[in-house]
Amino acid sequence: MFAMGSGFIARGAISENFGLTMNGYPQPDYDTFSSRLLGLADPMMAGPTEELVLMALVVTALRTAGYSRWAVCVTAVAVRVPFHLHYGWVALGLTVRALLIIVLHCRTNALFAIVLAHAAFNGLNYLDDLGVAIKWLLIFSGLAIVW
């Protein structure tokens, strides 16, 4: 969760310091319970798809082929960041998140936890301010456990 949050903090810092705005999507109106569930599931599916295809597949293939850690990290970030260019230039701040997740995966091989954290992070966006509060609680709880 810390890796996810750090990318968005970096994105915000780039936006503030360079005056770059972030592109977003208009929020759809959900008129039924089932459409609300689909609206929640949609961003959560980014966790499995991005982490499996844009991170684990790339990292595993390059490590198996014998490339250096540096080459693996640079390539995996280069593959991942363009996937978020719909945000605009502030997507460059997400390189922090990408690097932390790649290093975490290389050191632990804990893919399921990374996928789950990404899905939870995106799902909590659905809860607006409550989701932000829960994210901060999880980030600080994780830091307290690690330190």
pLDDT for position 1: 66
Q: What single-letter DSSP state applies at residue 51?
A: I
Q: What single-letter DSSP state applies at residue 52?
A: I
pLDDT for position 4: 72
**Burial of residue 121 (number of CB atoms within 10 Å: 0-12, 13-18, 19+):** buried
Transcribe 38-59 into DSSP letters: HHHHHHHTHHHHIIIIIIIHHH
Return d(Cα 85, Cα 59) in angstroms, integer. 21
**Burial of residue 119 (number of CB atoms within 10 Å: 0-12, 13-18, 19+):** buried
Strands (E), 39-116: none
pLDDT tens for 84-117 read: 888 888 888 888 888 988 988 888 888 998 999 8
**Burial of residue 116 (number of CB atoms within 10 Å: 0-12, 13-18, 19+):** middle
Q: Are 7 and 86 in contact (CB under 8 A)?
A: no
Q: What is the mean pLDDT of each run of 10 residues along the chain (147 residues)?
A: 72 75 73 87 90 93 95 93 83 86 88 90 83 83 74
